[in-house]
Structure 1
Amino acid sequence: MILNHPGLKGNRHRLERPELLAPAGNLEKLKFAVHYGADAVYIGGQKYGLRSGADNFSFEEMREGVEFAERYGAKVFVATNIYAHNEDIEGLEAYLRKLEEVGIAAIIAADPAIVETAQRVAPGLEVHLSTQQSVLNWRTVQFWKDEGLPRVVLARETSLEEIAEIKSHVDIEIEAFIHGAMCSSFSGRCVLSNHFTDRDSNRGGCCQSCRWKYDLYVDGDTVNGEEDNQFTMGSKDLCMIRHIPELIEVGVDSFKIEGRMKSLHYVATVVNAYRQAIDSYFEDSASYELKPEWLDEVNKAANRPLNTGFFFDTPSTEEHIYEPEDKAAPYDFAGVVLEYDAETGLAVIQQRNHFKPGQEIEFFGPGGTFFKQQVGELYDLEGASLDAARHPLQHIVLRTEQPVNPMDMMRKRIR
């Protein structure tokens, strides 16, 4: 049994409770991730990361993000996880020194050249080994510990049994992806994007060609007819919220959520659900049980069907997506609360998607704050009546049936 694996109980290098590590593609997402319960956030700078399509951070934005996170006792990590070509080396030392200067707690690196350079020129930065190194066994983890790294991010293909084995042999922090998109290639080492679009997945340019739709051919003839669905190579997404006790008790130190390209609504919703589940376990592990509302919340942010990845078994054909993908829940992100007046019950909402009177909406905030209502009368800031909130980022005044707080979020029902 995994939970009683020999060596786990005496393991010294284990966080007091697991870190909840959230993605942030821009400064706003960083702030919401921290506000909704993340212990740490990983971001990308404008160089050396694998999400060149994200907004990514300037050094000034990093500094502001670090200052915000520190107010909550949270940390900021920076992904520097490309495999560097010769032309990538120039400027690396200065970049790493600047990360240290602005207060970044750690970098996430795969290339040994980046690892060594960071250790040499920016000793104040921790170096966490990226999942791009595809680490699956304790001997490799021991190697990187001997190289001075305090944490290894395991390959997504690692099982719970293998994590237990690693933790029983090596006294080190283990980080594992517990939620988000999975790659059809081994640990993301894909070259399809390079061949199809000349965009290098391992230098930040992935075009997600596995999610494209394809016709199938045999001897020059198409196998799928006009009435058939086109084929994709896309996998279902990972979700381990049903298995918080197993993850904690096997010794995972950092629960990592994938998604620097995902929406603000996704980040806040998923972080909020996992935060509640983790805290509930530590409040009373003996009587812990999964609450249906946590799973409901995760599904409201889901882009694809969900599964448990490689944690319990090798995924089969059932874990891939062959049919058109249905949205998991009938809700869309509609707005963010900016202000609330308790005397009048009126809230100022920053619009993020069209909504109008009569629609069913939900409000939610950190820690499980949640209620439903219908949209009533709408006004602009000058008091003029509106028939709909139709302009992006428009400030809308509406009455809420319960108190709300700044940074609470609003969804609308769409079917």
Structure 2
Amino acid sequence: MTTVKKRPEVLSPAGTLEKLKVAVDYGADAVFIGGQAYGLRSRAGNFSEEEMREGVAYAHARGSKVYVAANMVMHEGNEEGAGTWFCNLRDMGIDAVIVSDPALIEICATEAPGLEIHLSTQASATNVETFQFWKNYGLTRVVLAREVSMEEVAEIRRRTDVEIEAFVHGAMCISYSGRCTLSNHMSMRDANRGGCSQSCRWKYDLYDMPFGQERQSITGSIPEEFSMSAVDMSMIDHIPDMIDNGVDSLKIEGRMKSIHYVSTVTNCYKAAVDAYMESPAKFESIKEDLINELWKVAQRELATGFYYGTPSENEQLFGARRKIPQYKFVGEVLAFDPDHMTATIRQRNVILEGDRVEFYGPGFRHFETFIKDLHDAEGHKIDRAPNPMEILTITVPQEVKPGDMIRACKEGLINLYQKDGSSETIRA
């Protein structure tokens, strides 16, 4: 009997209303956002009630869903008003909430019946029994802990009908399922209540401390200060494994990332899913293009997390970088005039006359050209636009569409590790 592959949802981050619209336009089947309470990203530009309503209307009109992260760990007194808040989310059309604290789950289930609840990755779900426990409480989906292997994903899928959501791209936390207290200790900001200062991403000095002697810094004798920082996850070339093993939702991390990141990564995973659902051969034919595309956004180095084994020192950030993105986000298209073949753009970074740039848009559309006939908002010819958010016009060789993004192609350096531990620098 032939098994029919189920198409998974592409779930993208949306830290602001602008990012929500970009994610939806670039192919997200669903987005996850934060409200102004109960979330873990206090600095992510969280949504007001009015913005939520607008975001829900925008997404639903285009066939996409909106989930709200309410995944903080509650302290005494935090529960006040939670029931009303969940009721408001339900009544404005939010499709589900993502929760980890059992008290918040209980409040939502009893005081806002009808609002779907998904278990957050913060709850560390790693086995079938945990899935069954939360199913008995009425939860319809579980977001897997990042520590789960692909073999375990397959076993969980085989033994439960609860929806599986799994991370496929983005930052990895150095602590188990994100439950960390480094930030609390070092900066008095509670990581489990939305205030993480990302202490694991800091650079630390390393000391030699012989007994009874003064400590001495050994900075400089190693290529990078001591770090606890993990590389980012990317499963773009393993999408077949995710689909074949029954993952229902492919989650992209990054509510605090830029619209360049959101548009690029969403575009890639949407294209990957589309291609594999068409045929394995189609996916293989574009896989390298997808990998290369992801390297056009600023990010840490990439690995597959715990899916294919326990990460080693190669999945930690230290020493010379092995690969550096070669592109810079410089603008977005606001309008296109087909009669004069000009594009009106909103500039995000410095643009120079003659810059080599790449336009890209939803559906994995791309083309390269050079900045020509650069004019400011008043129509004056200029050769440089240094100030962010300027409205400019340029001549383009082919049609572009509002919402298309523009990258400048910048030469850079790539550092490659050698077998002896040294590094070689080459021109990209």
Moved more, 370-379 or 320-329: 320-329
Q: Compute the RMSD of aligned alpha carbons.
A: 1.7
Alignment of 1:232-243 (within 5 A): 232-243=227-238
Q: Does 1:169 align with 2:159?
A: yes
Q: Does 1:199 align with 2:189?
A: yes
Matching residue within 346, 352, 355 for 2:348: 352
Cα separation, 1, equivalents of 2:385 and 2:115: 45
Q: Does 2:412 correspond to 1:412? A: no
> Which SS does the other structure have where 1:377 is aligned?
strand
* Cα distance in 1, alignment partners of residues 291 and 219 from structure 2: 37
Instruction: Indicate conservation of the 8 Å contact 2:237/2:287, yes or no.
Output: no
Partner of 1:262: 257
| 1:50 counterpart (19, 40, 52) | 40
Q: What is the rounded CA distance, in whole Å, between the counterparts of 1:286 and 1:365 in structure 2?
A: 24
Matched-pair contact (CA < 8 Å) for 2:34–2:41: yes
Give the whole-Å Cα distance in 1 for the aligned partners of 2:165 and 2:218: 41
Q: Counterparts of 1:33 and 1:311 in 2: how far apart (Å)? A: 26
Task: Tell me the residue number matched to 1:30.
Answer: 20
Any conservation in 2 of the 1:300–1:328 contact (CA below 8 Å)?
Answer: no
CA contact (8 A) 2:377 2:390 kept: no
Distance 1:21-1:354 versus aligned 2 partners, 3 A rule: same
> In the TM superposition, what is the alpha-carbon distance from 1:330 to its structure 2 partner?
1.3
- Residue identity opposite 1:321 in structure 2: L
- Deviation (angstroms), 1:217: 2.2
2:313 corresponds to which residue?
Answer: 317
In the alignment, residue 337 of structure 2 is paired with which amino acid?
Answer: D
Match of 1:328 among 324, 328, 338: 324
The answer on whether the counterparts of 1:332 and 1:413 sit within 8 Å (CA) in structure 2 is: yes
Equivalent pair of 1:346/1:398 in contact (CA under 8 Å)? yes
1:222 shift after superposition:
3.8
| Residue 176 of structure 2 is aligned to residue 189 of structure 1 | no
Alignment of 1:236-315 (within 5 A): 236-285=231-280, 288-289=283-284, 290-315=286-311
Select which of 158, 181, 184 maps to 2:148. Answer: 158
- TM-aligned CA deviation for residue 327 of structure 1: 6.5
**3-state secondary structure, aligned to 2:368:** strand
**Contact 2:206/2:219 (<8 A) preserved:** no
Q: Distance in 2 between matches of 1:330 and 1:288?
A: 25
Counterpart code for 2:79:
I
8 Å CA contact 2:184, 2:191 repeated in 1: yes
State whether structure 2 residue 382 is matched by structure 1 residue 386. yes
2:414 is matched with: none
TM-score (norm. length: structure 1): 0.94
CA distance 1:287–1:270, shift in 2 (3 Å): closer
SS of equivalent to 2:351? coil
Q: Does 1:224 align with 2:234?
A: no
Q: Secondary structure at the match of 1:385?
A: coil
**Other structure's SS at 2:165 match:** strand
The answer (yes or no) to whether the contact 2:11–2:29 under 8 Å persists in 1 is yes
* Separation (CA, whole Å) in 2 of partners of 1:237 and 1:226: 26
Letter of the structure 2 residue corresponding to residue 224 of structure 1: I
Gaps of 5+ in 1: none
For 1:226 and 1:369, locate their aligned partners in 2 and report how far apart those are by CA, in whole Å: 45
- Of 187, 200, 219, the residue aligned with 1:210 is 200
Provide the rounded CA distance (Å) in 2 between the counterparts of 1:292 and 1:34.
Answer: 24
1:224 and 1:230 in contact (8 A); partners too = no
Change in CA separation of 1:353 and 1:156 when aligned onto 2, cut-off 3 Å: same
Cα distance in 2 for partners of 1:127, 1:270 equals: 26
SS at match of 2:299: coil
Counterpart of 1:134 (choices 96, 120, 124) is: 124
The residue aligned with 2:367 is 371
Amino acid at match of 2:254: G
User: Structure 1 residues 210 and 102, CA, compared in 2 at 3 Å: closer, same or farther?
Assistant: same
Q: Larger deviation: 214-223 or 342-351? A: 214-223
Q: Secondary structure at the match of 2:132?
A: helix
Q: Which amino acid aligns with 2:235?
A: M
User: 1:248 Cα shift?
Assistant: 0.2
Runs of 4+ in 1 over 4 A off after TM superposition: 324-327
Contact 1:47–1:80, Cα closer than 8 Å, also in 2: yes
Kindly report which structure 2 residues correspond to 1:16-95, keeping only aligned pairs within 5 A, or say none. 16-95=6-85
AA aligned opposite 1:121: E
Unpaired runs of 5+ residues, structure 2, are 412-428
The letter for the 2-side match of 1:37 is G
2:190·2:196 contact (CA, 8 Å) conserved in 1? Answer: yes
Deviation, 1:16, is 3.8
Q: Tell me what 2:426 maps to.
A: none
Q: How far 1:317 sits from its partner (Å)?
A: 1.1
Q: 1:152 is paired with a residue of what secondary structure?
A: strand
Whether the aligned pair in 2 keeps the contact of 1:82 and 1:204 (CA below 8 Å) is yes
What is the letter of the counterpart of residue 219 of structure 2? G
In the alignment, the residues of structure 1 paired with residue 146 and residue 298 of structure 2 have an alpha-carbon distance, to the nearest angstrom, of 19
